């Protein structure tokens, strides 16, 4: 997903629940990857331009081998308890 338009702080590149793997988002204005509770997200990339949050994950979830860079507020936001975050 490339180029999500809107005002700063608005717009989500990818919003998903379940198994999310190999996703790439850039050019978003709000959240790059918004991942729902109970998900597994592996090998995804969120490059902010000027995104506020790279990866926002609701826990419990498994988060492995993801990349988030150049986001205005935070690259990885884990919401809740019970997450497994490795090599992110």
- pLDDT of amino acid 51: 63
Burial 2-12 (b: 16+ CB within 10 A, else e): eebeeeeeebb
Would you list the domain boundaries of the chain? 12-81
Q: Which of 5-14, 24-33, 52-61, 70-79 has the lowest mean pLDDT?
A: 5-14
Q: Within 10 A of 73 (CB to CB), how many other CB atoms are there?
A: 12
Residue-level pLDDT at 8: 56
Whether 33 and 20 have beta carbons less than 8 Å apart is answered as yes
Is the pLDDT assigned to residue 77 strictly greater than 80?
yes
pLDDT tens-place string over residues 12-54 = 889 999 999 999 998 888 899 999 999 999 999 999 866 689 9
């Amino acid at each position: 997903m490339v180029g999500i338009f809107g005002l700063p702080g608005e717009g989500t590149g990818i919003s998903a629940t379940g198994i999310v793997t190999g996703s790439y988002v850039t050019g978003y204005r709000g959240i790059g990857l918004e991942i729902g509770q109970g998900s597994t997200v592996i090998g995804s990339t969120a490059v902010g331009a000027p995104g506020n949050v790279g990866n926002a994950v609701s826990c419990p979830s498994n988060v492995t081998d993801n990349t988030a860079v150049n986001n205005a507020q935070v690259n990885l936001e884990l919401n809740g308890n019970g997450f497994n975050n490795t090599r992110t």
